[in-house]
Amino acid sequence: MSQATTFPTSRKRKPKRSAKALIIAALCSLTALAVILTNDPSLLSWGKAWPGLIRPLLRMLCFLGIGLVVGIAVEGMGWAPLLATLVRPVMRFGNLKDESGAAFTTAFFSGTAANTMLMTFWKENKISLQEMKLSYLINTGLPVFLLHLPTTFFIIVPMTRTAGIIYLSLNGLAALIRTIGLLIWTRITFAPHKTDNEITDQPANRKTSAAKILSAFRRRFTRICTVTAPVYFLIYALNQAGMFEYLRTSAAGWVTSAYLPVEAVSVVVFAVAAEFTTGIAAAGALLDGGSLTTTQLVLALVLGTIVATPIRALRHQLPSQTGVFTFKIGFPMLLMSQLLRISSLICVTILYLWIAS
Among 32-41, 113-122, 151-160, 212-221, which stretch is predicted with the lowest mean pLDDT? 212-221
Which residue stretches of the chain are H helix?
Answer: 2-5, 14-39, 46-49, 55-77, 80-84, 88-93, 98-107, 111-123, 129-139, 142-160, 162-189, 195-200, 210-240, 243-254, 263-271, 276-288, 294-312, 318-325, 327-356
% the chain with pLDDT above 70:
75
Among 43-47, 160-164, 219-223, which stretch is predicted with the lowest mean pLDDT? 219-223
Average per-residue pLDDT for the chain: 78
Return the higher-pLDDT residue of 83 and 128.
128
**What's the pLDDT score for residue 251?**
61
What distances in angstroms separate CA 167 from CA 104, 294, 341, one per listed residue?
Answer: 25, 10, 14
**What's the pLDDT score for residue 328?**
84
**What's the pLDDT score for residue 349?**
93
DSSP character at residue 54: I
> Tens of pLDDT along 284-300?
777 766 777 888 888 88
Handedness of CA 249, 278, 64, 121 (dihedral sign): negative
Which residue stretches of 289-326 are H helix?
Answer: 294-312, 318-325
With beta carbons less than 8 A apart as the criterion, state whether 304 and 267 touch: yes
- Nearest Cα residue to 111 out of 77, 83, 146, 78: 146
Among 10-19, 224-233, 304-313, which stretch is predicted with the lowest mean pLDDT? 10-19
> Tens of pLDDT along 153-184?
887 888 788 888 999 999 999 999 999 999 99
Residue 11 pLDDT greater than 70, yes or no: no
Residue 202 — pLDDT band, cuts 50, 70, 90?
very low
**What's the pLDDT score for residue 169?**
95
**How far apart are the C-alpha atoms of 131 and 332, rounded to whole Å?**
15
- Residue 36 CA, chain-centre distance (Å), reads 27
Query: For the residues 103-113, what does the mean pLDDT come to?
Result: 85
> Tens of pLDDT along 319-335?
888 888 888 888 899 99
**What's the pLDDT score for residue 130?**
94
Query: For the residues 125-152, what does the mean pLDDT come to?
Result: 90
With beta carbons less than 8 A apart as the criterion, state whether 296 and 264 touch: yes
